[in-house]
Each structure stands twice: as C-alpha cells, then as structure tokens.
Amino acid sequence: MPLPKRRFSRSRRDKRRLAIHLTVPALSKCPQCGASTLSHQICPACGQYRGRQVIPMKTEEKKG
C-alpha cells in the first residue's frame, strides 16, 4: 500500500479538516406556541404538527 513520502504540514492538514465540522441545525418557530422546533418535526412543547394535534399533552394543574 503506498505511503506519502513526506509529512503533511499542520496548515495543509488543517485546510483539509476545515470542512469537517458540526453545523447548528436550522430551527423554526412553532406557529401555535412559538417554541423552537426542528423543521418537519412534531413540536415538543405543544405536540402539534402542521396544524393538528399529534401527541396529547398533559395540562399543568395548579396546586392551591
């Protein structure tokens, strides 16, 4: 198996690795509750997707 004759410099190595990085996912706002959600996903705050209730959410009960 062929091997490189010379060692790559740090700058050359880092230029190659520049494109390999984590990206922040694009978030959108839920139209019903305004919470940040991933696109094409059910809203974790209200449980709705595209205007209909997909997951029944528990309502908060006040203790008094």
Instruction: Work out the average pLDDT over 38-47.
Output: 91
3-state secondary structure of 28: strand
**Residue 53 lies inside a defined structural domain of this protein:** yes
Query: How many structural domains is the chain composed of?
Result: 1
Residue 33, domain member (yes or no): yes
Any domain includes 41: yes
Enumerate long-range contacts of 35-44, CB under 8 Å, 24 or more apart. none
52 part of a folded domain: yes
pLDDT in tens, 4-36: 899 999 999 999 898 888 888 899 999 989 999
**Does residue 1 sit within a domain?**
no
Return the pLDDT at 35: 93
Domain ranges, residue 49: 26-57
Q: Shortest CA distance to 28 belongs to which of 16, 13, 42?
A: 42
